[in-house]
Amino acid sequence: MSIGMSTLKAALSHFEYESRKHRANLMVYLSNPAAVAEHPDVVGEVVKLTQLITEAEDNIETLEGFIENWYQNDENVSSSMRGLDD
């Protein structure tokens, strides 16, 4: 695996983690908002977490597109290089 692909996959893992973390926090607020006493604005926190989830999911989608293109370009380069060997 190339350095570029390793970097893309590491970034993808980061945003997948962020999405799961924010979803877990959102579930805590929704299941028991009284348990989070230091945040009196539960609605505001739900809005904030929803925005963070959306941002992480958008980044995941973007990176998946880059990864797909990377593989397609790699196949095209490999195919064109095979043609040079003839």
Q: What is the residue-level pLDDT of the chain in tens, covering all 86 positions? A: 788 899 999 999 999 999 999 999 999 888 886 766 676 788 888 999 999 999 999 999 999 999 999 888 876 555 544 554 44
Structure tokens at 11: 């970034």
Rounded CA separation 73/80 (Å): 10
Q: What is the DSSP letter of 32?
A: -
Total length of the chain:
86
Rounded CA separation 41/20 (Å): 22
Its pTM stands at 0.77
Kindly tell me the number of DSSP H helices and DSSP E strands found in the chain.
2, 0
